[in-house]
Structure 1
Amino acid sequence: MTTTVPYAELPGLVGRDLGYTEWREVTQDQVNTFADATDDHQWIHVDPERAKTGPFGGAVAHGFLTLSLTIPMWTELLDVEGVTTKVNYGLDKVRFVSPVMVGARIRMKAVIADVTEVAGGYQIAVDQTVEIEGGSKPAVVARGLSRFYA
């Protein structure tokens, strides 16, 4: 469920748990497209037959593909009204904790860790955890940074 807030209320969001996104499946087509875009065609990602004999027992998504999916998932969780520009400012910390098998479903949980005033706007730090359906450990744990300008 999307939390919608006016720009002026961003500072009051520190500690706010935004909940979970919807589940989304990671497909072999996504993995192959990501491999083409990044020129990372390692067999554990793009060769499902060979990957069956590999360390994970099947093809896995690139860690950076899983991380990149936090962007569309993030838009499911927070909408800030009254801004002229929204910027993905980067990351403070990222860990790829568990591989995401092709065909697995993932979702993200997000908590606003900090809100800082910057020239012309606010920067928010968000603790993001990407979960794997049925998994005991998360796929990705990251602190994302976004900026909102009015």
Structure 2
Amino acid sequence: MRTFSTFEELDEAVGEELGVGDWLEIEQDRVNTFADATGDHQWIHVDVERANEGPFGGPIAHGYLTLSLIPYLGTSVFTLDTPGAKLNYGLNKVRFPNPVKVGQRIRDRVTLAAVDDLPMGKQVTMRHVVEIDGVDKPACVAEMVVVLLNDE
């Protein structure tokens, strides 16, 4: 796991692949809980019997569930241990090239794409590629943007 304690360490690592995280199995209970939280109960996600007859041969995770797991998946790759507050700023270029079937395992491959100076600290852009075990095409590709505030 890579730990960044200073802004300088971040500046020096721009363009580097930070690593690949641990596998996480996507279980039906997680998909159902996400459906309940978001109100998205489309049959392709929650009706196992119908989904088994559908285009993917079984239920699939919501794309936004996969996206929402990136912060968790990234914790086995890197940590931002800089002194000031950390704020989620947004996302760039989010795509879902391949669905995640229930029962498959996913992990995160992280690259430090950019570090930009701000008057109040740094804006950090991390490129995340969520891989599916045994599948060439990723489940999700997204750039997450975080603002790290100076400790003042």
Residue matched to 1:7: 6
Residue matched to 2:73: 73
Report the TM-score, using the length of structure 2 for normalisation. 0.93
Residue matched to 1:109: 109
Aligned partners of 1:112, 1:58: CA distance in 2, in Å? 35
Q: Over residues 68-94 of structure 1, what are the superposed CA-to-partner deviations in whole Å (9 max), with x where a residue is unaligned?
A: 000111222222333221122111111
Aligned partners of 2:71, 2:58: CA distance in 1, in Å? 26
Residue matched to 1:119: 119
* 2:99 match: secondary structure: coil
Indicate how the Cα distance of structure 1 residues 139 and 82 shifts in structure 2: closer, same or farther if over 3 A, else same.
closer
> Within the alignment, does 1:34 sit opposite 2:58 as a pair?
no
Letter in 1 for 2:41: H
Q: Over residues 31-51 of structure 1, what are the superposed CA-to-partner deviations in whole Å (9 max), with x where a residue is unaligned?
A: 001001110000000011110
Aligned partners of 1:38, 1:81: CA distance in 2, in Å? 31
Aligned partners of 1:27, 1:75: CA distance in 2, in Å? 20
Q: What are the within-5 Å matches in structure 2 for residues 31-110 of structure 1?
A: 31-110=31-110
Ranges in structure 2 where 5+ consecutive residues have no aligned partner = none
Report the TM-score, using the length of structure 1 for normalisation. 0.94
CA RMSD between the two structures: 1.1
Q: Is the 8 A contact 2:116 2:122 kept in 1?
A: yes
Q: Is the 8 A contact 2:82 2:148 kept in 1?
A: no
Identity, in percent, stands at: 49
Ranges in structure 1 where 5+ consecutive residues have no aligned partner = none
> Within the alignment, does 1:18 sit opposite 2:18 as a pair?
yes
Aligned partners of 1:131, 1:26: CA distance in 2, in Å? 12
Letter in 2 for 1:8: F
After the TM superposition, which of the residue ranges 79-88 and 101-110 deviates more from structure 2?
Answer: 79-88
Aligned partners of 2:33, 2:3: CA distance in 1, in Å? 32
Moved over 3 A (4+): none
